Amino acid sequence: MDAGEKKALDDIEKYGCHVIHVLEDEEGPAFTYSVGIQKTSGAPEVIVIGLKQPIAHFLINEYNARVQAGERFAPGNRYDGFLEGFQVQFGVVTTDHFDNYFGWDIWLYGGKQFEVLQLIYPNTSGVWPWEAEATSWFRTNQPILSEPVV
């Protein structure tokens, strides 16, 4: 086991999850995801795409705290308390995205036997990525990894 794997396991034991942030590159926008939430709470892992690291990390930690306290989130429903002034909703990430986004979860669970929710947020005008008013930039920077959630 290397130092990164040990840190991940220590974080999971201490905080209920480890958080991975992947920088934007030519293949896509930055994204942040959890490792270990399903192991510690039984709730799905979570991913946030297209937000700066501090905000995305906060959202993962907020989700983790709420699911560790017993709250669960249904796909397509809107929720308060994540982004000030805006609701968010969740979509179930399809397994065809697992190889590209969830390497550490595949490592932890020894395969793809885990679930992931994508935390989806509107733009600052309240427009969701699937709405006609959404810009192509917004859609590109928050690709939806789930089945339709509307």
pLDDT of 150 strictly over 70: no
Q: Tens digit of pLDDT for each residue in 65-122?
A: 999 999 999 998 999 999 999 999 999 999 999 999 999 999 999 999 999 999 999 9
Per DSSP, 74 falls in state -
Reading the block at residue 106, the tokens are 């595949």
Task: Using pLDDT thresholds of 50, 70 and 90, give the confidence band for residue 1.
Answer: confident
Would you tell me how many other CB atoms lie within 10 Å of the CB of residue 17? Answer: 27
Cβ–Cβ under 8 Å, residues 134 and 128? yes
Report the DSSP pairing between strands 116-120 and 45-49: parallel
pLDDT digits (tens, 9 = 90+) for 7-39: 999 999 999 999 999 999 998 999 999 999 999
Task: List beta partners, residue 21.
Answer: 32
DSSP 36: S
Phi/psi at 131 (5° precision)? -80, 150
Closest to 5 (Cα-Cα) out of 30, 32, 36, 33: 36
Q: DSSP character for 142? A: S
